[in-house]
Chains A and B, each alone.
Chain A
Amino acid sequence: MKSMIYFDNAATTYPKPESVYRAADEYARTRCGNPSRGSHALSLAAAEAVYKTREALAELYGASPENVAFTMNTTYALNLAIKAVAKSGDHILISNLEHNSVLRPVHQVSTRLGASYDIFDATLGENEIIADIDKKRRSNTRLLVCTHQSNITPIVLPIKSIAEYCRTNGIYTIVDCAQSSGTIEFDMSQTKIDAICLPSHKGLYGLPGCGAIIFGQDSTEELKTTIEGGSGSESIPLEMPAYMPDRMEAGTLPSPAIVSLSRGIEFIQRQGIDSIRGREHRLCEYIMTALKDIDGVTVYNREPGSTLLFNCDGITPTDMASMLNDYGICVRAGLHCAPLAHKTLGTFPTGAVRASFGAFNTKREADKFIDVVERIVNSKK
């Protein structure tokens, strides 16, 4: 394969650290029993490997291992969490930067349960965001779901303040950490956030196939289940177990991906979360500055971050991504499953081109990217 520049890390990070590949391979060959489904050596070895990841995630976010429930990905996690809490007649708040992984389940809940939802503006300053939430809150607002960091713009929501406001007003808070996990650290025990949802395969550098919901320690909501089945415990009652994580973990867990996640977490901890974020932001700033100097390129970022959104005059985003691909550069074009966020940024319905950075990207790659964009833009003049 010719040399490739991978700038689609917001979709999934690539490559993974060697330790991640090795761990998944070793686990699949030697310990891949069914965790919590028996007491023979292979099942117990699998359960131990899964528990190590549970502990690592719990430690990373200041939670208890029992409050970490594994899912297939962030979308599953968000669906489980939203549908666990939302009830008929509820009013829900979401931000105007949400991915479809939040928008669609909330819309579905509204349609099916006769709930309703409103959208608050997450592009404002912290106090203004809280004021907008306050303005849109109703007497029956019971749930707020928002992203921590958008998947198309580096805007980071003030989740701590939002969760404090919500707790004061009896609103359950779920945060989508799909983009922030691995680049923004926070301790759930120091916040009023009730649940966060995250993937293995993005900033935590695990393999695809696994996600997680982490519930806050003092979250007291009675959680409804949406997926029922075997949990490996309490098999006689017809209801899922009342306790976590079994209540939310029906069916066999994606244990190879879960095991890979623990190595991914080790990797980001070795590198330093702040250091990875700083590196990505510097790379973004470098490219942003250069692209802004190219006549015919519009950059939508207000500030540098892990993602860079841009368009080129006279070239559709999809064509631009295709031409970049011809040069061995992987970016993602279109609406990025976030039409609501693109409407907010003014890039709907065409969308834009997103370059997104990871721990393995280099300045040399950035230089080549800038050069290729300039070449493509000039060729169309």
Chain B
Amino acid sequence: MRCVLPFISMTTAQRGSAVLNGAGISHRIVGIDASLTRRGCSYGIEIACVNSDSAERVLKRARIRYGDLLTL
């Protein structure tokens, strides 16, 4: 199983990535299938599912907007 946090844009995903790097949470930026977003191409950050709670906490603290966690 893969856990992906979706972002509205590549730039926001990159900002999220910078914050996660700072928190030492390993991750990678990935494309999200257009059929999952209803609005077309999108980007997300894939994390180990075990880290999803801490990743969300860090992103919320940095006030970076993201969508509901996708489990793929």
Chain A positions within 8 Å of B, measured between CB atoms, are 35-36, 38-39, 44, 47-48, 51, 54-55, 64-66, 232-237, 241, 243-246
Chain B interface main SS type:
mixed
Chain B, residue nearest A245 (CB)? B11
Closest Cβ–Cβ distance, residue A57 to chain B (whole Å) = 12
The answer for the CA separation of A55 and B42 in the assembled complex, in Å, is 21
Tell whether A232 pairs with B8 under 8 Å between CB atoms, given A39-B30, A55-B18.
no
Chain A to chain B contacts (Cβ below 8 Å), 7 pairs? A51-B10, A66-B12, A232-B9, A233-B8, A234-B42, A235-B41, A243-B9
Closest Cβ–Cβ distance, residue A198 to chain B (whole Å) = 18
The answer for the CA separation of A183 and B43 in the assembled complex, in Å, is 37
The answer for the CA separation of A143 and B37 in the assembled complex, in Å, is 37
Q: Is the CB of B14 within 8 A of A65?
A: yes
Chain B, residue nearest A36 (CB)? B10
Q: Is the CB of A234 within 8 A of B40?
A: yes
Which residues on the B side are within 8 Å of A235 (C-beta)?
Answer: 34, 39-41
Tell whether A47 pairs with B9 under 8 Å between CB atoms, given A234-B42, A236-B39, A237-B40.
no
Partner of B11, one of A39, A44, A51, A234: A51
Chain A, residue nearest B63 (CB)? A64
The answer for the CA separation of A372 and B14 in the assembled complex, in Å, is 53
User: Is B31 interfacial (CB-CB < 8 Å)?
Assistant: yes
User: Is B38 interfacial (CB-CB < 8 Å)?
Assistant: yes
Chain B, residue nearest A55 (CB)? B18
User: Is B29 interfacial (CB-CB < 8 Å)?
Assistant: yes
Q: Is the CB of A236 within 8 A of B11?
A: no
Partner of B9, one of A38, A44, A64, A245: A245
User: Is B15 interfacial (CB-CB < 8 Å)?
Assistant: yes
User: What is the size category of the interface that chain B forms with chain A?
Assistant: 10 to 19
The answer for the CA separation of A244 and B65 in the assembled complex, in Å, is 13
Closest Cβ–Cβ distance, residue B40 to chain A (whole Å) = 3
The answer for the CA separation of A47 and B9 in the assembled complex, in Å, is 11
Which residues on the B side are within 8 Å of A39 (C-beta)?
Answer: 29-31, 43
Chain B positions within 8 Å of A, measured between CB atoms, are 8-12, 14-15, 18, 29-31, 34, 37-43
Chain A, residue nearest B40 (CB)? A235
Partner of B14, one of A47, A232, A237, A246: A47
The answer for the CA separation of A66 and B42 in the assembled complex, in Å, is 16
Q: Is the CB of A233 within 8 A of B40?
A: yes
Closest Cβ–Cβ distance, residue B69 to chain A (whole Å) = 18
Which residues on the A side are within 8 Å of B14 (C-beta)?
Answer: 47-48, 51, 54, 65
Tell whether A233 pairs with B42 under 8 Å between CB atoms, given A243-B9, A246-B9.
yes
Chain A, residue nearest B15 (CB)? A65
Which residues on the A side are within 8 Å of B34 (C-beta)?
Answer: 235-236
The answer for the CA separation of A36 and B12 in the assembled complex, in Å, is 11
Tell whether A236 pairs with B31 under 8 Å between CB atoms, given A54-B11, A55-B18.
no
Partner of B8, one of A48, A55, A237, A241: A241
Tell whether A237 pairs with B9 under 8 Å between CB atoms, given A39-B30, A44-B29.
no
Q: Is the CB of A66 within 8 A of B10?
A: no
Tell whether A233 pairs with B18 under 8 Å between CB atoms, given A39-B31, A39-B43, A44-B29.
no
Question: Given A65-B14, A234-B8, A234-B39, 12 more contacts at CB 8 Å?
Answer: A38-B31, A39-B31, A51-B11, A54-B14, A66-B11, A232-B9, A233-B9, A235-B40, A235-B41, A236-B38, A241-B8, A246-B8
| The 5 nearest A-B residue pairs measured at CB | A39-B31, A235-B40, A236-B40, A36-B10, A51-B14
Closest Cβ–Cβ distance, residue A67 to chain B (whole Å) = 10
Closest Cβ–Cβ distance, residue B26 to chain A (whole Å) = 16
